[in-house]
Amino acid sequence: MKTNLFIVTHCYSLPERPHRPSILPAPNQLPARRPLQQKALNCILPGLPGSLVQMGEFSIDLQQRIVFYAKTGIELSKKEFDLLNYLLLHKNRPLTRLQLSEHIWGNFSDDDYDSNYIDVHTKNIRKKLTVHAPADWLQTIRGIGYKIKS
């Protein structure tokens, strides 16, 4: 009898622990993986085909994770896109730097809160977008954080 074995390094859930912990069942015997990212995208803008968002002169495809200006793709880093995506989720609502940091980077200490990496990522997003057209819909709320104005 031939046994298919598979070593799992990253999966959402594991079956019961086998007798030999370093060996797990073949992929077809594992429980289905949960599409967390897809669920998050569907929660962001339910009902929009392709999750395409229009902000000013920019089109933002949330599933492909691409920002377009006149059919030209604009490359954003993973964190920059995550930040833009989270701001879109809470459109017209000011978000504090702490809220943005906790969503993008998870929990962290108060020492990290004083860091300006949210400001730097926002500056980089604006810099990349304003090469093509003004991104005045991405607003700074002085002393609080940022928001996207529709």
Which residues form the domain of 59? 36-148
DSSP 3-state percent helix, strand, coil across the chain (nearest 5): 35, 20, 45
Q: What is the pLDDT of residue 9?
A: 44
Q: What's the CATH code of the domain at 78?
A: 1.10.10.10
Mark whether 66 and 133 lie in a shared domain. yes
Considering the domain architecture, whether residues 20 and 49 belong to the same structural domain is answered as no
pLDDT score for 140: 93
Count of the separate structural domains present in the chain = 2
**Whether residue 40 sits in one domain with residue 30:** no
Over residues 126-142, mean pLDDT: 91
Q: How far apart are CA 136 and CA 126, in angstroms?
A: 9
Asked if 126 and 63 count as a contact pair (C-beta separation under 8 A), the reply is no
- Looking at the structure, tell me whether residues 56 and 30 fall in a common domain: no
Residues 29 and 42 grouped into a single domain: no
* Contact (CB, 8 A) for 125 and 74: no
pLDDT tens digit string along 12-67? 444 555 555 455 556 555 555 444 344 444 444 444 455 788 888 889 998 889 99
Same-domain pairing of 29 and 76: no
Check whether residue 17 and residue 80 sit in a common domain.
Answer: no
Cβ-contact 87, 139 below 8 angstroms: no
Q: Which residues does residue 58 pair with via DSSP β-bridges, in sequence order?
A: 55, 69
Question: Does residue 23 share a domain with residue 52?
Answer: no
Q: Is 28 in contact with 39 (CB distance < 8 Å)? A: no
